[in-house]
Amino acid sequence: MNTALIPIEHTATYFADRIRAVGDEVLNVAADLVAALDARPELRAELIDAKVSRDVIDNLERLGRGEIHRNLVLDSSTVGRRLLKLPLSVQTQAIEAGVEVLDPDEQTTRLIPVDELTPKQVEQVFPKHGHQRSLAEQRTWLRERKSKQPVPVSPAYRVCKDCIITPAGERITKAQILQWLAEMH
């Protein structure tokens, strides 16, 4: 369709309506697919032979069986893929209400919509293995990450123009160092 024919002020509304219509059609296809798969289990293999992706078939079937939230069918984001591994009730709660995220200070909790999570927050809340971490589990995760970060090491001494200063604050002059080196022979 040529978008030049659509008035500029109506473009967002036009596309929002079309996207919603596609979503409704996806729901209808999912329901029809489940009925067809139940009646003819061999249809799955036929669809795969017809070059329909297994993931698409599986996601549409799960949608038709009421196992996944409709917003996740076309979502290929990291958080979307992680949510697909969770029960529908958890998906729905996360999508509709957001998720509790523990800040790195381990004191502040924020409720964040799933589509606004940073990649680090996605990893913190939704690990790869299909689970939503509780606040206590997030605290443990944050502490483990902090313990894995290298601790900055301060030098054992500081070199200055004419001396070295030890961590205890002792000043060793250039002359003292030269004397020690001479004594090493």
Same domain for 102 and 55, yes or no, is no
pLDDT, position 82: 95
pLDDT digits (tens, 9 = 90+) for 66-122: 999 988 888 889 999 999 999 999 999 999 999 999 999 999 999 999 999 999 999
pTM, to two decimals: 0.67
pLDDT score of 17 more than 70: yes
Same domain for 147 and 158, yes or no, is no
Same domain for 147 and 176, yes or no, is no
The answer to whether residue 185 is domain-embedded is yes
Domain count for the chain, please give it: 3
Same domain for 164 and 145, yes or no, is no
The answer to whether residue 80 is domain-embedded is no
Can you give the residue range of the structural domain that contains 169?
A: 154-185
Q: How far is CA 38 from the centre of its chain?
A: 35
Same domain for 105 and 131, yes or no, is yes
Contacts 24+ apart (CB under 8 A), 80-84: 82/122, 82/126, 82/127, 82/128, 82/130, 83/114, 83/126, 84/59
